[in-house]
Structure 1
Amino acid sequence: MPSTENAWPALPVQEWDGTRDTLHLWTQMAGKVRLALTPLVNHWWNVPLYVDSRGLTTSLMPLEAGGLEIRFDFVDHRLRMLHTDGGEGDIALRPGTIAEFYAEFTGLLAELGADVELHSVPVELPDVVPFDQDTRPAPYDPEAAHRFWVSLVSASRVLNGFRAAYRGKASPVHFFWGAFDLATSRFSGRPAPQHPGGAPNCPDRVMHEAYDSEVSSAGYWPGGAAEGAFYSYAYPEPPGYRDRALDVDGAYFDGDLGEFVLPYERVRAADDPDAALRGFLDATYRRASASGTWPRETGRA
């Protein structure tokens, strides 16, 4: 059995932020394929990636004939494409440039007969360069990528348990490649006022669709603290939501982010990391549902 230390590895952001940023752009390429091939599901639930037994996957995406899956393997450090007709290919995950990787990526799509038109500009990032023009060095540390995947496996386990406890409408636990975070959301069943938008290099209609219903969202982001952070927020933010401290060791409200935050380091160092994270998730949901006076029949958790 893996130890707690191995299940929640140390992830100092300053030691792997270059690799993190490379992975962010690589996953956006795969995510854009998923966006192009799948029909819209409410709140863009058709576009995220999913944690799997080797890394991250698009899951099976429909083609005109058959289907395609794209997987990031952080054990063997390959990007794999698998077609339902038996065709497959892979690309080594290694340092280089984003433009080089994009050329290999689109070339492999063409080899497998996946006719996909991609928008080559990254989204939800302030300073963007089209993938095919980005010749800046793109580092890749395989050991750091592997540790990040292990942290995703552990975070996914706890988030899935949290999601399962809610009987109302709840999203899958999925990895949004735009913001590069693992998340799940619970819904009150009531509509929300139109979101103001404003995400960098992202049309406002994306946020309008994502936040058209009253929601409490929680997840894991490899940023925001020394080793990344777990977060939770409510939209629209109800009165009194941020006014009192949570009874959760190490958690606080970040006014700039507009979210409750629990540093990843506090979770991994806890005697029971799963319980520490679950306590944060439960407490922030209770705060959102109580201060927002969610209907009692929505879901019991």
Structure 2
Amino acid sequence: MASTEPRTSNEAWPALPQSEWSETCATLQIWAQIVGKIRLALMPPANHTWNVTLYPTVRGLTTSPMWQGTRILQIDFDFIDHVLTLQTDKGDRQDVPLRPMTVAAFYQKVIAALEDLGTPVRIWPVPVEVAEPIPFDEDVTHKAYDPEYVERFWRILLQTTRVFNTFRSRYIGKVSPIHLFWGALDLACTRFSGRSAPEHPGVVGLPDHVTRDAYSHEVSSCGFWPGAPGMEPLFYSYAYPQPEGFPESAVQPAAASFEKALGEFILPYEDMRQSADPEEALLQFLESTYEAAATTAHWDRQALESPSWLSSVKGTSEVA
């Protein structure tokens, strides 16, 4: 059924039914992987693969500055004017219009733009975390681009970043940046207990060394995922290693549940956006699922959580 919502939607939490933009979502995921792999090639390794991620901006997504020797390159998706901008610290710039085109064509344009800027980059030209991956230069299957739904997705990323920042500020232990992992196109934020974790068994579509580095220590991780054909967008929260009793924990809001097949708690995006207070519903989900992980895994919450946040939870304004 076609969406009844107006095509132009600037509200904070716009509708994002997968059926309306599945092909665009799949294409955007692979385009983001091309840009993300450039960042992977240029940035020095960082723990938990934090060196490869993208970040929401007031216009789209950015790599932030990357270094090729002493030269500096930055690549930005602009989802307002719908253009990919590649620019250097020398003031040079190349633009690739974002419009319906094959992955192969997009890949060729990006590689050519890098050459024209004098910042050539070689990447492994095969997508990850997708079924039946097609090399970038051979992919003429994925070619959809609906600017309206891309803009809706980006606006959700921005608003999610806003709420995640509030959640992130309540923790003084090790916590990740709020960043977009281009493999699955999900925005994530991860809290760490500080304790090491057992070796991860691996994830299909990713090298073992990537997942074992990502999960080298105990985590409680949350994020937003735009969905896939047959799966609507959702917020997720999981723990690794998964503590005994975690799936049975009571969490909020009422629309949240543990999805056994995924091994994580989920809150459907549509349920969140339709709630009386979407931001509060999302914060309830983030806090209650983290508390489920920290409690069942016996984290030292007194040492890890912000004193001001602990005071507010206890019903006092006193700050330790």
**Does the alignment pair 1:210 with 2:220?**
no
Structure-1 residue corresponding to 2:28: 23
Structure-2 residue corresponding to 1:122: 127
Structure-2 residue corresponding to 1:131: 136
Q: State the shift of 1:114 in Å.
A: 1.2
In 2, the alpha carbon distance for the partners of 1:216 and 1:128 equals 30
1:172-191 mapped onto 2 (5 Å cutoff): 172-191=177-196
Q: Is the 8 A contact 1:176 1:182 kept in 2?
A: yes
Q: Is the 8 A contact 1:238 1:291 kept in 2?
A: yes
Once superposed, which parts of structure 1, at least 4 consecutive aligned residues long, lie more than 6 Å away?
Answer: none
Letter paired with 2:166: G
| 1:94-136 Cα distance to aligned partner (Å, 9 max, x none) | 1121101100010001111113111000011121010001112
Uncovered stretches (5+) of structure 2, i.e. residues with no partner: 1-8, 307-320
- Secondary structure of residue in 1 paired with 2:221: strand
**Does the alignment pair 1:282 with 2:287?**
yes
Q: Taking structure 1 as reference, are residues 81 and 268 closer, same or farther at Cα in structure 2, changes over 3 Å only?
A: same
Q: State the shift of 1:254 in Å.
A: 0.4
Structure-2 residue corresponding to 1:241: 246
- Residue-pair matches, total: 297
1:200-279 mapped onto 2 (5 Å cutoff): 200=205, 202-223=206-227, 227-279=232-284
Picking from 49, 52, 56, the partner of 2:54 is 49
In 2, the alpha carbon distance for the partners of 1:114 and 1:9 equals 38
Picking from 199, 208, 211, the partner of 1:194 is 199
Q: State the shift of 1:300 in Å.
A: 1.1
- Secondary structure of residue in 2 paired with 1:166: coil
Q: State the shift of 1:223 in Å.
A: 1.0
Letter paired with 1:223: G
Q: Taking structure 1 as reference, are residues 66 and 5 closer, same or farther at Cα in structure 2, changes over 3 Å only?
A: closer
Aligned-residue RMSD, C-alpha: 1.4
Q: Is the 8 A contact 1:221 1:230 kept in 2?
A: yes
Structure-1 residue corresponding to 2:151: 146
Q: Is the 8 A contact 1:51 1:57 kept in 2?
A: yes
TM-score in terms of structure 2 length: 0.90
Q: Is the 8 A contact 2:252 2:284 kept in 1?
A: no
Structure-2 residue corresponding to 1:97: 102
Structure-1 residue corresponding to 2:165: 160
Structure-2 residue corresponding to 1:111: 116
Q: Is the 8 A contact 1:10 1:227 kept in 2?
A: no
Identity over aligned residues, as a percent? 49
**Rg larger in structure:** 2
- Secondary structure of residue in 1 paired with 2:11: helix
Letter paired with 2:280: A
In 1, the alpha carbon distance for the partners of 2:231 and 2:263 equals 18
| 1:165-184 Cα distance to aligned partner (Å, 9 max, x none) | 10100000000001110000
Letter paired with 2:51: N
TM-score in terms of structure 1 length: 0.96
In 1, the alpha carbon distance for the partners of 2:23 and 2:47 equals 33
In 2, the alpha carbon distance for the partners of 1:289 and 1:252 equals 17
